[in-house]
Amino acid sequence: MLPHEWIAQNGVLLVFLNVLGASLGLPLPVMPTLIAVAACQTQGAASLWSIALPLSPILGVAVLAGVLADLIWFFWGRRYGPRTLNTVCDLTLSREACVSKTEQIFGQWGARLLIVARVLPGLSLVAVPLCGAMGVRLRTFVGYDCAGVTLWIGAGLTLGVMFASQIQRLLNALSVFGARAMIAIGVLAVVCVAYRFARRIWTARASDNDASLQIDSRI
């Protein structure tokens, strides 16, 4: 099976799992996935209807996955309060900057921040539980979160439609090399994800060690 055929057949499930995992905090490449799936689903489309029809279920399941994952973080924040922000910021490269920056931006924008949080790297992961910790109403949260996730997913799908021909040529070139090339790309993607996740853990531990050393020096 050619790469674009596999992506076209499994695009809905691929997008759902990708968005769900990324929204839960896993370092997954959502935008490349959305672009590739949109390009394969709209191959040869000649009208707006033929483009919108296959992309509608993808948009729907992607928004569902994003909001479901965000609800988990939201209720986590509501239950554990401000401590949740510290926990989530441990997943970022700079815990202190994450906490101060998020609290400052949230103080200015409130729950409206969710509309643009997805397009700002790392912000949605902390803004969502912060909404729960700050007592934002569930209906308000779901409304703004749906708008933000839809904007984010729609941007990726739109890019896929715009550059469909270029992406198709790339996938056709990869198919020439056969299954070995696809396996190599898959292994490389897994290694990159594992590296990013390990870097987050290492950075969080380094921050904790630095904080401990500062406390010991003061004592």
What is the model's pLDDT at position 164? 83
Tokens linked to 101: 């920056």
pLDDT score for 133: 85
Distance CA 64, CA 131 (A): 19
Structure tokens at 100: 């101060």
Widest distance between CA atoms in the chain: 71
φ, ψ at 178 (rounded to 5°): 80, -160
* Residues 193 and 27: beta-carbon distance below 8 Å: yes
Residue 113 identity: L
Q: How far apart are CA 187 and CA 103, in angstroms?
A: 38
| Unique residue bearing structure tokens 């296959």 | 54
Residue 202: per-residue pLDDT: 63
Asked if residues 27 and 41 have their Cβ atoms less than 8 Å apart, the reply is no
Residue-by-residue pLDDT tens, the chain, 219 positions? 555 677 778 889 999 999 999 898 887 888 988 998 888 887 766 677 778 888 999 999 999 999 999 999 999 888 887 677 666 666 555 555 566 666 677 777 788 889 988 887 667 778 888 888 888 999 999 999 999 999 999 999 999 888 888 887 777 666 666 556 556 656 666 666 666 656 655 655 555 555 454 444 455
Residue 91: which residues within 8 A CB-CB, separation 6 or more? 25, 125, 200, 204
pTM beyond cutoff 0.85: no
Reference 13, options 28, 33, 29; nearest CA is 33
In whole angstroms, what is the distance from residue 93 CA to residue 31 CA? 21
- Number of Cβ within 10 Å of residue 201's Cβ equals 11
